[in-house]
Structure 1
Amino acid sequence: MRETPHPVLDDFPFRTHEKLRYGDTDRQGHVNNAVFATFFETARVDMLMAGDVDLKGETGAFVLARLAIDYVREIHWPGEVEIGTRILAVGRSSLRLEHAVFDNGVYAARGEDVTVLTDTATRKSKPFSDEARAWLEAWLQKI
């Protein structure tokens, strides 16, 4: 099996950071695995709110349909992590995103998620507007 090189922060056009909290740690003394889902949530929401385009419209809401996480190394408190995010695919009403967590510049974890735009009244998927699709596709990463 061919090894895939670890990503670097520069691979990700969207970046955010999170301060580690003492309460993020578990009995093993490292940041608990569940906290990584929160890191990715912060990054995802920051990215979706970053542009001057309203991606969801008045009757839209984003929901998480899938989340997969690969843990590469432990992270310890105190400190701050950087989270990089990139768009891998844009569907009719969904996005596939990749995230990576970096602790002092060192790759620590990656996540991939599928986020779906839904209609708040029907709770069913809702297609992206042409303006939203154009904004999202401009950030689409070819890897």
Structure 2
Amino acid sequence: MTDSSLLSDYPVHTEIEVAWGEMDALQHVNNAVYFRYFETARIDYCQALDLMKILSASNIGPVVSETSCRYKLPVTFPDTLVVGSRIIEVKDDRFTMEYAVLSRKHQAISTLGKATIVMFDFKTGHKAPLPQSVIEHIDAVESRSNR
């Protein structure tokens, strides 16, 4: 199996080298570290959308309202991970992302994750609608996957 076949449904791929210091006393990557991996992948996806550029003028931006992780296979140093990310649902004021973490050492998906991202108006302190231009960018990015 290759990265592309295991992550073909994920249009954005983020490569991450496992650091020695990310392992815990049980000699595998600590469970909390995966949320940093997801964050890195989420930022890469947002850059693919030009999300920060689109939203910076309006003081509206994405905030994580919920996130989860399912561990399938322990990861250890050394390893290179590839985090695939995709958006599976778009609503008026939010979207839901999914992540799949591929361990190159094991050639298997080690971890699955999910996050709900809400648009937030930093001027008013309230939720904001997801701009149509962002929805169009999401559609363009998602059309790159082999789904």
TM class, shorter-length: 0.7 to 0.9
Deviation at 1:123, TM superposition (A): 2.1
Once structures 1 and 2 are overlaid, which stretch shifts more, 125-134 or 45-54? 45-54
Measure the CA separation in 2 of the matches of 1:11 and 1:121.
36
Equivalent positions of 1:85-124 (< 5 A) are 85-104=85-104, 105-124=107-126
Deviation at 1:131, TM superposition (A): 1.3
Secondary structure of residue in 1 paired with 2:126: coil
Task: Give me the identity figure in percent.
Answer: 26
Measure the CA separation in 2 of the matches of 1:11 and 1:129.
25
Stretches of structure 1 that go unaligned for 5 or more consecutive residues are 1-6
- Which one of the candidate residues 30, 33, 41 is aligned to 2:39? 41
Deviation at 1:52, TM superposition (A): 4.4
Stretches of structure 2 that go unaligned for 5 or more consecutive residues are none
Measure the CA separation in 1 of the matches of 2:116 and 2:54.
15
Deviation at 1:117, TM superposition (A): 1.3
- 1:121 to 1:52, Cα distance in 2 relative to 1, 3 A: closer
- Which one of the candidate residues 132, 135, 138 is aligned to 2:134? 132
For these two proteins, the number of residue pairs brought into alignment is 137
Deviation at 1:120, TM superposition (A): 1.2
Measure the CA separation in 1 of the matches of 2:124 and 2:18.
38
Measure the CA separation in 1 of the matches of 2:49 and 2:118.
18
Q: CA RMSD of the aligned region, Å?
A: 2.1
Deviation at 1:8, TM superposition (A): 2.0
Secondary structure of residue in 1 paired with 2:26: coil
* Bigger share in helix: 2
Q: Report the TM-score, using the length of structure 1 for normalisation.
A: 0.87
Secondary structure of residue in 2 paired with 1:134: helix
Measure the CA separation in 1 of the matches of 2:54 and 2:62.
9
**Letter paired with 2:103:** D
1:65-103 Cα distance to aligned partner (Å, 9 max, x none): 111111000000122210000110111121101001011
Measure the CA separation in 2 of the matches of 1:33 and 1:77.
14
Aligned partner of 1:3 in structure 2 is none
Q: Report the TM-score, using the length of structure 2 for normalisation.
A: 0.84
